[in-house]
């Protein structure tokens, strides 16, 4: 099963959550063309915690 599905997040939401999980990140710029996209992106903040196993899975997919 796709990691985003297990986290109940779209790929975009999971990607945004992954970026903002880092306390060194102070801002994230997103581009949207509709208000619905912005609202969907904001939902990423509902789950910014990643288990170690999830981070390892992301690293594996990214070839890290």
pLDDT value of residue 4: 83
Q: What are phi and psi of 51, to 5 degrees?
A: -70, 155
Tens digits of residue pLDDT in 4-19: 888 999 999 999 999 9
For residue 50, count CB atoms less than 10 angstroms from its CB and return exposed for 0-12, middle for 13-18, buried for 19 or more: middle
pLDDT at 1: 66
Q: Which residue has the tokens 């690293």?
A: 59
The whole-angstrom separation of Cα 8 and Cα 54 is 13
């Amino acid at each position: 099963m796709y990691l985003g599905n297990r986290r109940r997040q779209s790929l975009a939401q999971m990607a945004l959550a992954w970026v903002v999980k880092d306390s060194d990140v102070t801002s994230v710029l997103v581009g949207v063309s509709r208000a619905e996209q912005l609202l969907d992106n904001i939902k990423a903040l509902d789950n910014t915690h990643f288990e170690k196993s999830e981070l390892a899975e992301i690293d594996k997919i990214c070839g890290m």
